[in-house]
Structure formats: C-alpha cells, structure tokens
Structure 1
Amino acid sequence: MRYPVALALTLLTETPVYTAALTRIGRVRPARAAAAGVLVNLATHPLLWWTLRHWTDGPAAAYWTGFALSETSVVVVEALLLCPVTGLRPRDPLPWIASLTANATSLLAGLLLGT
C-alpha cells in the first residue's frame, strides 16, 4: 500500500473513533475532537510508516517485533498528545482507551484490505 493511501485509511478510520470517544465520554466539542484525531495521526503516522519500512526486509520475527513495539509506541504517544489538545489529563483513562481503540480500528482495516 502506498503511503498516501495508508494515511488516508488511517485518518478515515481513526478520526471517527476519536471524535465519538472524546465527544461522548470526554465532553470535548466535536470539531475539537476530530481535529485532535487528525493532529495526533499526522504527528505519529509518518514516523510509524518510516520505521516499519526498515523492518520489511528482515526476517518475519523481526518485522512483527518491530511492528508490535511501533504500534505500542504510537498508542502511547497519541494518548499523550491528545491531552493538551482536549484538556484531558494523562492519568485519565479516556485518552488511553481512545488511542488504543482508534489504532486497533485502523490496524484491523489495514489488515482486512491486505496491506
């Protein structure tokens, strides 16, 4: 999958998840919640894409280890980046749950589309 398509898929799947979670549970305005979802992805997606590209030529075990570490890092970074944009605190569970759910959703979408 080419990078622009992967980024578009990520934004199309994660932004609604962030928007729904942050507006319904976190009481963040919808426009701010959607903007937060886009911003955190624009901050993490290029680095994730670049990092995973370096693991594709090696053995499968190395790729999946790198993949797991990279995705875990993205969940943590996105949860922490959500806090200043939305007014949530890092010790609140919502940024962590929203980040994990959004990233799991886009990961599943990518796997289903055969990336």
Structure 2
Amino acid sequence: MPYPMALALTLLVEVPLYTVALTRAGGIRPARAAAAAVLVNLATHPLLWWFLGHGAARSTGSAAAYWTAFGLGEAAVCAVEAALLRPLAGTSLRGPLPWAASGTANAASVLAGLLAGPLITGRW
C-alpha cells in the first residue's frame, strides 16, 4: 500500500476513536482531542513506516523478523502516542485512559490495514 494511502487509512480509523475516547472519558473538547489524535499519528506513523520498510526486518528477508519488528514497532508506537496525548490533549488526562485509547486506536488501524491492504493493492 502506498504511504499516503496508509497514512490516510490510519487517520480515518484512529482519529474518531481517539476523539470519542478522549472526549467522553477524558473530558477533552472534541476539536482538541481530534487535533491531538492527528498530531500523535503524524509523530509516529512516518517513523514506523520507514522502520518497517527500510529497517533491519526488511534487510533479512525473513517473515518472522518482519512480524517481530512489526509487533515491537506497534508496541512502541502505542507507548509514544500514549505519552504524547497528555501534553497535547490537556493535563486532565490521568490514569490508564491514554494507554487504553492508544492501544485501541492502533489495534483498530492495524486490523483495518490488514483487511484493506489486499483490497487496495490487489495482492492477496
């Protein structure tokens, strides 16, 4: 899948999930929650994409190495996004909310990418 399409799909899936979670459970205004969701994705998505496309996992050619790097990369993305949410969305975010929102949003976008990728690229 081309990078612009992958980023668009990620934002399409994650921004509404972050916005709902941060608005309802965190008391953050919707516009600020959506802006924070976009910003955390813009901070992490390009780095993960580069890492998976050009990093050590691709150079070995091993499927096991790629999927290991994929899992570790996604875990790192969840942690970074959760850590960035508090300063970007507001100081009222406390407890597990940033971590739960990040894990849920990223799991949903991974699933969307795995399902939509073959449809978009035509490679089953």
Q: What TM-score results when the alignment is normalised by the length of structure 1? A: 0.94
SS of 1:26 mapped into structure 2: coil
Partner of 1:65: 68
Q: What does 1:7-18 align with in structure 2 at a 5 Å threshold?
A: 7-18=7-18
* Equivalent residues of 1:88, 1:95 under 8 A apart: no
Segments ≥4 residues shifted beyond 2 Å: 54-57, 87-91
Partner of 1:87: 90
Partner of 2:122: none
Instruction: String of CA shifts for 1:4-32, please: whole Å, max 9, x gaps.
Output: 00000000000000000000000000000
1:110 paired with 2:113, answer: yes
User: Identity, % of aligned pairs?
Assistant: 68
Which protein is bigger by CA-based radius of gyration?
2
* Equivalent residues of 1:14, 1:37 under 8 A apart: yes
Mapped partners of 1:73, 1:16: distance in 2: 21
* Equivalent residues of 1:79, 1:90 under 8 A apart: no
Moved more, 55-64 or 86-95: 86-95
**Code of the aligned partner of 1:34:** A
- Aligned pairs, how many? 115
Instruction: String of CA shifts for 1:58-112, please: whole Å, max 9, x gaps.
Output: 1011001100110000000000000101224786100000000000010000011
CA RMSD of aligned residues (A): 1.5
SS of 1:92 mapped into structure 2: coil
**Code of the aligned partner of 1:111:** L
Partner of 1:50: 50
* Equivalent residues of 1:82, 1:88 under 8 A apart: no
* Equivalent residues of 1:23, 1:33 under 8 A apart: yes
Q: What TM-score results when the alignment is normalised by the length of structure 2? A: 0.88
Mapped partners of 1:38, 1:104: distance in 2: 16
Moved more, 84-93 or 28-37: 84-93
* Equivalent residues of 2:26, 2:92 under 8 A apart: no
**Code of the aligned partner of 1:86:** A
Gaps of 5+ in 1: none
Q: What does 1:32-43 align with in structure 2 at a 5 Å threshold?
A: 32-43=32-43
